[in-house]
Chain A
């Protein structure tokens, strides 16, 4: 078991190394000289030129530059923003709470409603209720988050005036109130996906013999569902949830922009617009790292949640 975890962790670090190299090297894929690219659209002062050359070590050999940048990233030093004249880490840090709050809220909605709808569908399989849910999830899965966002704003904020159209709010209760519609916009597609996977995974389990045996021995349906069906069905649900995390982070960029929230995602979009590459690089790297880390955690957790999946040869 220790070996399995160690191997997964080594794989994760290697993947992070390769992805960080790709994100760094992308600077050299851009047309033109890296210095001109970083400064584009600005009339640089000599100090700015010196600062940017210094930050990226543009006079060093390529691999040395990457090494310096990587060491900086590991110390949470992402360089300075040209647009805001501030540390990138500080700029991002100030916006993390909004994005995190949004993701936590919609993550909760996705888990609660995704599981609930999926389980309800599986238990009523084939009946009208199940079929209605199925059609609904087909449509929900096709609604992009920005479309959901503008429809929600149009109906609940403008027409009915129940919710604010923008901003993240102050204090906990106000924050939850402000982030409610954005979280719904972010969740809809994912609820549809999670409920579908839950439904089919539950149905696979419900059809198995041990469930029938447990029922025939007089165990209540409720406890059979909870102890035998749901537990066994958790594996695929966990996997899809891991895959959704990256999607959620990227989609939050769109939702934050639609609701004018000051989060990490909208900062990414603004920075692309203002050609502030240090910020773009940092946020892209963080999203990719988040995806790699969450998926490693899911891989490691899988054998614990579903012991039928052994952790590869030599496990335990």
Chain B
């Protein structure tokens, strides 16, 4: 659903956002992300109710001192489900980002470092991978392996890999031409050592910026899958699944149990985008 836009290593790309919001926007976004991580880790301490505790007499209740965000159709506390839902909604994307970053670095490093036919062959592979958008591959994975998070997470990791790999490849090709790389080679260091230990740390921050942006997209894609009823299954709380469960409540005119997780998704994704772009911005024009 989302389209990944690569980090462009170009000077002054987002300086306009910085000039608008200044660094407080970046700081706020970091704080928001830390806050959601704490929410996920401390869920049992923070949630006022167990996420699956039902109270049928109290279904679709409006916000009250007992239920700050009201309840859903089966009387589950929306706030508690929102807090517990941050776990599945963030852990899945985290795994996608880690897997696709590792895989992308490995493939991009090999393609950029070796060049020649290896690069040509890998670039064709990336082109073909681009033709399978993340959500589509995840839907296919569910068709093959059944509902749940495991198969879609692996599928999306594969789909996100070429975005990282292509960036790493171009960074490696830029960095490879720098004198310090030749200097290491002259000193007799092996290719694996120079590429892995000397070159990689220099390009890692830029890759981190791309991965941060990817995290936001992964949150959207996985939530969409759960919204379609193909990802996280009820009664497990998950933001995307909560929106799906809340569709009836929306038509009944009491949308809070669906709108609350919707806002949570938007806030998290905006925060990831601001942080990712700010990192990319600070790195722009840097020597590799």
Contacts and interface: CB of A to CB of B under 8 A. Distances in A.
Nearest to A199: B16
Nearest to A289: B131
A138 B2 contact: no
B228 A257 contact: yes
B224 A269 contact: no
Listed residue (B230, B246, B250, B253) with the most chain A CB atoms within 10 angstroms of its CB: B250
Contact of A134 (B16, B127, B247, B258): B16
Interface centre among B223, B253, B266 (most CB of A within 10 A): B266
Interface string A118-151: 0000000110001100110011011111110011
A34 B139 CA distance: 18
B199 to A, nearest CB: 29
Contacts of B265: 144, 147
B246 A150 contact: yes
Nearest to B269: A142
B96 to A, nearest CB: 15
Contacts of B259: 150-151, 154
B7 interface: no
Interface residues of A, number: 61
Contacts of B216: 142
B258 A150 contact: yes
Interface residues of B, number: 49
A143 B264 CA distance: 11
B84 interface: no
Interface stretch (B112-120, B142-150, B179-187, B188-196): B142-150
Contacts of A268: 139
Contacts, number: 146
B227 interface: yes
Given A131-B20, A151-B262, A273-B229, A284 B136 contact: yes
A189 B131 contact: no
Specify the main secondary structure of chain A where it touches its partner: helix
Nearest to A190: B3
A307 B98 CA distance: 41
B131 A200 contact: no
B228 A280 contact: no
Nearest to A11: B127
A181 interface: no
A144 B131 contact: no
A142 B268 CA distance: 9
Interface in A237-275: 240, 243-244, 246-247, 250-251, 253-254, 257-258, 268-269, 271-273, 275
Interface string B245-288: 01100110101001100100110011001100000000000000
Given A142-B269, A146-B224, A151-B259, A134 B20 contact: yes
Interface of B: 1-3, 5, 13, 16-17, 19-21, 127-128, 130-133, 135-136, 139-140, 142-145, 216, 220, 223-224, 227-230, 240, 243, 246-247, 250-251, 253, 255, 258-259, 262, 265-266, 269-270, 273-274
Which 10 pairs, one residue from A and one from B, show the smallest C-beta to C-beta distance?
Answer: A142-B269, A247-B3, A251-B1, A30-B144, A154-B255, A147-B262, A142-B270, A144-B220, A280-B143, A272-B143
